[in-house]
Structure 1
Amino acid sequence: MTGSPEEVLAAVVRPGMRVVVGDGAGAPTHLLGPLTRVARDVGNISLLLGWCLDLPDDFDPSAFADVRTVMSGFALRGMVADGSVRYVPERWTAVPALLHGPLRPDVAILALRPVVGGWSWGSEVSWMRSLLDLPDIVVLVDENEGLPRASLAESVPRERGTVIARSARPPIDNPRRPPEDLHLRIAAHVAPYVPVGARLQYGPGPIADALAALIEVPVSVRSGMLTDAVLTLEQRGLLLGDPFGAYLWGTEALYDWADGRDVVGRVERTHVTALDDPAPVVTLNAALEVDHTGGVNVEALGPRAVSGLGGHPDFALTGHLSRRGVSIIATSTRRGSTSTLVERLSAPASTARSDVDIVVTELGAADLRGRSDGERREALLAIWTP
């Protein structure tokens, strides 16, 4: 099949179909413009999106019968807020089940890197690999030579897909910034909970960057997202083996470093981890709000969409169940003039209080393990009060 992206889509898409577009830093979101025009012409097309870091100006949700995403916030924040995109609050480990069940797609648009005999995955694999387990799905490939080849274990044979576009677009850059004093103070209270040889998971952001700059013990990394924090650990001689995650998101240095390594994989490998792992699992994640019992909100501030569930509840549970590990939530005490400790969350709880072991702020750490709700409240108030 040859032709422009619009011509290829017009030959494939039919009324009543659902189209899913791959996500991440290397996502083929530039094809949402042609898809919009085809959807408007064909009619009754549904669209499923994931973690979108950018969107083209010619993407229009109104051209579709239905648009849903499994990750709120980021480039979709305004569209989720105005209702033109419906956010499905689902943990990342369950996304493959959705794709094989109620949100089963007919067509997938994926960004892949060309190799002999087909394509390799680029800066992400995540839930997208499960699409290939659907025998009848039509796979349209944005053949992108600008992606790193960061997955050696997984490949896509040429007969499995059809090229819809060719490009050399690098993954989206996430500029590396030195941690601020606030983040270093928070990380200093996290560091004592990271033992030698721990398997570390972290949510992307300045607190994880600060922790990578501060800890003095070697760790391995298995995380939903790999950022430049792994480069910091390697440069300091503290990274045990190759890290492994579902996505890469960082600077050109990270993408260059990952090229030719097997460091990204499917969500069934990155987010579902064996509970008999001999290494202590330490999970570090952020919060928009923490309630007085330790429940966590990461999705919205009242009506304002900020992010999605992602792997937050998956990894918090994994750390909590690790016999020698721990589930840590780290946040600053205030966001502007507003306290991040609240009596009642302003949005549904993203991670249950039962899966939170330690809460850390710049003022200290509260160990909630084995404590009643009343004792949790006292411990949390102590690290929010100067």
Structure 2
Amino acid sequence: MTHYLDHDSPDLSPWIRRGDTVLWGQANAEPLPLTRALMAQRERIGRFRVLLGIASSDSCRVEHTDYVDFVSYGGSGANRKLTDAGVLDVLPCHYSQLPALIREGSLKVDVLLLQVAGPDEAGRYSLSLAHEYLLAALDSARVVIAEVNRQAPWAYGEQSLTLERFDAVLLSDRPVLEQLRTTPSATEQRIGQNIAEFIEDGATLQMGIGTIPEAVLGCLTGHRDLGVHSGSIGDGVARLMASGVITNARKTIDSGKTVAGVLIGSAALHSFVHRNPNVLMRSTDYVHHPDVLASIDRLVAINSAIEVDLTGQVNAEVANGSYLGAVGGAGDFLRGAARSRGGVPVIALPSTSKGRSRIVERLSGPVSTPRCDIGLVVTEFGIADLRGLSLRQRTKRMLDIAHPDFRAELAPVANV
């Protein structure tokens, strides 16, 4: 039997126990009334653990660590404050590994909090803004509590739910969290243009999160019949779908469908996806599966980095000693693009940050993606295609795309 929670003061203590691990949808998919109630009731519940994805709200704050342990696969978004305070424990794993870790119990999830849309005329509730690893948690969590938000977009996905699937429900009618579009800088625009030049009509795109992917999309208005198969999508994808640039017509699988695991964008994206059968939400098991990615012809995987060394090793996690990024899905997609017929694995980044070169002799953080998985590295100064090159050849190519102010410093290391 499904219980209905009081909207104004939902009591979660009957459902959540001391020692539990709680998970919810990341970014805009966060069920805000539930997460805020959880933090407010933490003392009553007793110490528990929260498994965070990308955080878009301030629901989880440093002062909450008096009763809450926070762990996440990355330090982006609002997680930054937790990492800066040293209270976020980091789970270093490939994104594709998360569902198996949850199902097998290595990453045990006791309570799952969801934001859903619905029901539709058939009584089906949509997982709305996120599928990804939530499906694995649905299979294994002891308790599932859903916020049914009247303003959440009803998105098509590989799984819909009925009311009986929820142990408790909170009815709400609130604006969904959103990420407003940021205008790419001139440097990011040049990077976008460099990448757009080698994207063919009919290619399928995967894009990481941030302004560089949006800059790339902004440079593709003259392309035709592009496809999308990506862990996340934002406003740029919606705009190119609406204008007819992204049709998914030439995809070798999921023809006609933009496939994504999570929606991270503004209200315009949410409105576009609502009841749109051309957007299909899928689980991480599918979106990041190596065989699925290999079966997509001309897959162009575009991911960012904090720094890249002269041989192509990538640090996407730590900057200046602070954990800002994640291992994430970059490695999954880069390997998938390398296996794809006509695919291109891409790492894109500005050549400098705060007066320091991001093309470096030696990484200042961990190796998030090994050099054997790197194809193209792109900065505003050009493209270094490292495929098939020896270490000495790689260092020369990487020097060419470094900022001119740092080339003399890097040249002796590159043996040129």
Matched position secondary structure for 1:46: strand
Matched position secondary structure for 2:232: strand
Q: In 1, are the aligned partners of 2:357 and 2:403 still within 8 Å (CA)?
A: no
- AA paired with 2:344? V
What are the superposed Cα offsets for residues 161-210 of structure 1, whole Å, 9 maximum, x if unpaired? 13342222333222234443322211222123212211111113332223
Distance 1:217-1:175 versus aligned 2 partners, 3 A rule: same
Matched position secondary structure for 1:123: coil
Corresponding position: 1:171 with 2:176: yes
The corresponding residue for 1:210 is 215
The corresponding residue for 2:143 is 138
Which TM-score applies when normalising by structure 2? Answer: 0.86
The corresponding residue for 2:69 is 66
What are the superposed Cα offsets for residues 34-75 of structure 1, whole Å, 9 maximum, x if unpaired? 223433223242222222111237774324363211232211
Distance 1:199-1:4 versus aligned 2 partners, 3 A rule: same
Matched position secondary structure for 1:78: helix
Corresponding position: 1:254 with 2:258: no
Matched position secondary structure for 1:108: strand
Matched position secondary structure for 1:263: strand
Instruction: State how far apart, in whole Å, the 2-side matches of 1:66 and 1:94 are.
Output: 22
Matched position secondary structure for 1:120: coil
The corresponding residue for 1:239 is 246
The corresponding residue for 1:77 is 80
Matched position secondary structure for 1:96: helix
- AA paired with 1:316? L
What are the superposed Cα offsets for residues 319-376 of structure 1, whole Å, 9 maximum, x if unpaired? 1222311101111111121111111111111111111101111111111000111211
Matched position secondary structure for 1:11: coil
Count of residue pairs the alignment pairs up: 385
Distance 1:235-1:275 versus aligned 2 partners, 3 A rule: closer
Matched position secondary structure for 1:56: coil
Q: How does 1:302-317 map to 2 (within 5 A)?
A: 302-317=320-335
Corresponding position: 1:287 with 2:305: yes
Of stretches 6-15 and 293-302 in structure 1, the one that deviates more from structure 2 is: 6-15
Instruction: State how far apart, in whole Å, the 2-side matches of 1:60 and 1:50 are.
Output: 19
Instruction: State how far apart, in whole Å, the 2-side matches of 1:311 and 1:58 are.
Output: 26
The corresponding residue for 1:16 is 19
- AA paired with 1:267? T
Corresponding position: 1:371 with 2:389: yes
Instruction: State how far apart, in whole Å, the 1-side matches of 2:388 and 2:97 are.
Output: 29
Distance 1:374-1:58 versus aligned 2 partners, 3 A rule: closer
Instruction: State how far apart, in whole Å, the 2-side matches of 1:343 and 1:195 are.
Output: 33
Instruction: State how far apart, in whole Å, the 2-side matches of 1:180 and 1:45 are.
Output: 42
Corresponding position: 1:263 with 2:270: no
Distance 1:14-1:237 versus aligned 2 partners, 3 A rule: closer
What are the superposed Cα offsets for residues 73-112 of structure 1, whole Å, 9 maximum, x if unpaired? 2111121232322111122111112212212111111111
Q: Please, which runs of 5 or more residues in structure 1 have no aligned partner?
A: none
Matched position secondary structure for 2:286: helix
The corresponding residue for 2:107 is 103
Q: Please, which runs of 5 or more residues in structure 2 have no aligned partner?
A: 248-255, 405-416
Instruction: State how far apart, in whole Å, the 2-side matches of 1:59 and 1:82 are.
Output: 7
Distance 1:376-1:125 versus aligned 2 partners, 3 A rule: same
- AA paired with 1:265? R
Which TM-score applies when normalising by structure 1? Answer: 0.92
Instruction: State how far apart, in whole Å, the 2-side matches of 1:266 and 1:26 are.
Output: 14
- AA paired with 2:116? L
Corresponding position: 1:186 with 2:203: no
Q: CA deviation at 1:276?
A: 4.5
The corresponding residue for 2:414 is none
Q: Which of the residues 50, 55, 70 maps onto 1:52? A: 55
The corresponding residue for 2:230 is 223
- AA paired with 1:105? V
Q: In 1, are the aligned partners of 2:195 and 2:378 still within 8 Å (CA)?
A: yes
The corresponding residue for 1:195 is 200
Instruction: State how far apart, in whole Å, the 1-side matches of 2:177 and 2:31 are.
Output: 11
Instruction: State how far apart, in whole Å, the 2-side matches of 1:314 and 1:153 are.
Output: 21
- AA paired with 1:89? P
CA RMSD of aligned residues (A): 2.2
Distance 1:21-1:57 versus aligned 2 partners, 3 A rule: closer
Distance 1:36-1:183 versus aligned 2 partners, 3 A rule: closer
Q: Which of the residues 348, 353, 357 maps onto 1:330? A: 348
Instruction: State how far apart, in whole Å, the 1-side matches of 2:333 and 2:170 are.
Output: 36
Instruction: State how far apart, in whole Å, the 1-side matches of 2:349 and 2:169 are.
Output: 43
Q: CA deviation at 1:114?
A: 2.4
The corresponding residue for 1:115 is 119
Instruction: State how far apart, in whole Å, the 2-side matches of 1:256 and 1:317 are.
Output: 33
Corresponding position: 1:162 with 2:167: yes
What are the superposed Cα offsets for residues 118-142 of structure 1, whole Å, 9 maximum, x if unpaired? 52111111111111222x6210111
Instruction: State how far apart, in whole Å, the 2-side matches of 1:32 and 1:275 are.
Output: 34
